[in-house]
Every structure is written in structure tokens, then in C-alpha cells.
């Protein structure tokens, strides 16, 4: 019973490099989201998905792409890394219950540094 | 723009007392609100959900209230313990679903 698995846990990138942060959940949750967390800024929504094949932008989508080809996987792609993307990234998943999206299950995070 | 404010100052309380954390929001009317706990270096953990038509929700030593007129939620931990020390986050649903915006969190320290 793994929950939400994020890889890698740590990553250092050079400015301009691209990479994909992986996120997988084994709970058959329909809803998935990516957040970044910066000191003093709290968690900010990057992209989210309400089911396989459906994605949409959150508060801070610029510089990031997502796809949702399966229910389980929701990778986040950094197109051309910038120092401003240095952050801790969290993936989260949830399910609908009685008309609400119930509490998120979060992964353990990816700490990304862009130099 | 949507704004979610939590106690900006860290909260220190004595063990056994009740901790009260505040979540205020503006410019929106969420259908429900959630509270999470986050420990250093870890992802947030879901605690409680309260809907707009519920005034109060309880779970063990936790109690959440939701006042849609004041645009405020209060989170209470009764009989607090040092193990309750963490950062607590509130999150609001935004409009069309699966858009949850988080507050910046309140750091709580329970002193033995």
C-alpha cells in the first residue's frame, strides 16, 4: 500500500535543462494535483487533473507541463529549468465523496535546486 | 485575487491547553474547507473537512468551525501534547473542483 510515490526525492539541475518529476498513486484516485512549496509562500497549485486524459492549469503553471495518460500516473515536466523553479514539489491525489473532493494524500516531495 | 490568511506568527502554547488556529479568506465563497498537518521535510497530511452548511466538525481532540459570514475557519486542538507540534494548513476549494488553494500555514509548538 504505497499511496503516492514521487521520484526523485532530490534533484539538482542546471539552468535551461529539462526534466520530469514522476508521480504515481495506487489508490485509484481520480483527482491529482501538483503543488510547489516555497518559504513564506505556502503551497501553490501548478496543474491538476480530474481524470485520465484531463488536465488544467492552477495558479502558477508557467514553465511546467503535465499529462495524465493513466489514472495512476501524473508526471510534471519542467521545460527549461530556471532558478525561480527551485522549490519543493508535492504531488497529491484524492477521490470524490458525496459531492466533495475528499482530503488529499500527498507524496513525500521532490526537492529541486536549479543552479 | 483569492487570499487565504493564517496566523502569520508562530503559536507557542503549554501542554494541556487548547490551541486555536485561524484561517481567513477573501474574495471567494468555498463550498468546503480542509485542514492539514505538515511536519518538517514531509508532505501535508489531511485531518478534517468541513462543508459550508456545517458549523462544526470534530475528530478526537480536533475541532473545526466554519463561519461563511465571517469568511473564517477556526481549528482547535484540545488537551494539546508536544506531539501536536507541527505546521497546520488550511485549504479551500476553488470554484470548479479540484482546485484547492492553501494558506501559508501556522507553526504550532506545544511546550511540555
Which candidate, A8, A83, A101, A88, places its Cα nearest to that of B95? A101
* A24-79 tens-digit pLDDT: 999 999 999 999 999 878 899 999 999 999 999 999 999 999 999 999 999 999 99
Which of B50, B98, B104 should one mutate to test binding to chain A, selecting the residue with the greatest count of A CBs within 10 A? B98
CA distance A46 to chain B (A): 10
Q: Would an 8 Å CB–CB cutoff place A104 in contact with chain B?
A: yes
pLDDT at B1 over 60: no
pLDDT at B95 over 90: no
Give A-chain residues touching B41 at CB under 8 angstroms: 109
**How far is B10 from A104, CA to CA, in rounded Å?**
25
Neighbours of B67 (CB within 10 A): 12
pLDDT, position A22: 98
Q: Would an 8 Å CB–CB cutoff place B45 in contact with chain A?
A: yes
Give A-chain residues touching B51 at CB under 8 angstroms: 100
Amino acid at each position: 500500500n504505497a499511496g503516492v510515490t514521487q521520484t526523485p526525492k532530490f534533484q539538482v539541475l542546471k539552468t535551461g535543462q529539462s526534466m520530469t518529476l514522476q508521480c504515481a498513486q495506487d489508490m485509484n484516485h481520480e483527482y491529482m494535483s501538483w503543488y510547489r512549496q516555497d518559504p513564506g509562500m505556502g503551497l501553490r497549485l501548478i496543474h491538476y487533473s480530474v481524470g485520465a486524459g484531463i488536465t488544467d492549469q492552477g495558479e502558477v503553471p508557467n514553465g511546467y507541463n503535465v499529462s495524465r495518460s493513466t489514472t495512476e500516473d501524473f508526471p510534471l515536466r519542467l521545460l527549461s529549468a530556471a532558478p525561480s523553479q527551485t522549490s519543493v514539489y508535492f504531488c497529491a491525489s484524492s477521490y470524490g465523496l458525496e459531492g466533495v473532493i475528499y482530503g488529499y494524500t500527498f507524496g513525500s516531495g521532490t526537492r529541486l535546486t536549479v543552479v | 485575487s483569492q487570499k487565504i490568511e493564517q496566523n502569520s506568527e508562530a503559536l507557542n502554547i503549554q501542554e494541556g491547553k487548547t490551541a486555536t488556529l485561524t484561517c481567513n479568506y477573501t474574495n471567494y465563497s468555498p463550498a468546503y474547507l480542509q485542514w492539514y498537518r505538515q511536519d518538517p521535510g514531509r508532505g501535508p497530511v489531511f485531518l478534517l473537512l468541513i462543508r459550508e452548511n456545517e458549523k462544526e466538525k470534530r475528530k478526537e481532540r480536533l475541532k473545526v468551525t466554519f463561519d461563511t459570514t465571517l469568511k473564517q475557519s477556526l481549528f482547535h486542538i484540545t488537551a494539546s501534547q508536544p506531539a501536536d507540534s507541527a505546521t497546520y494548513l488550511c485549504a479551500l476549494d476553488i470554484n470548479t473542483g479540484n482546485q484547492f488553494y492553501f494558506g501559508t500555514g501556522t507553526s504550532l509548538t506545544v511546550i511540555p
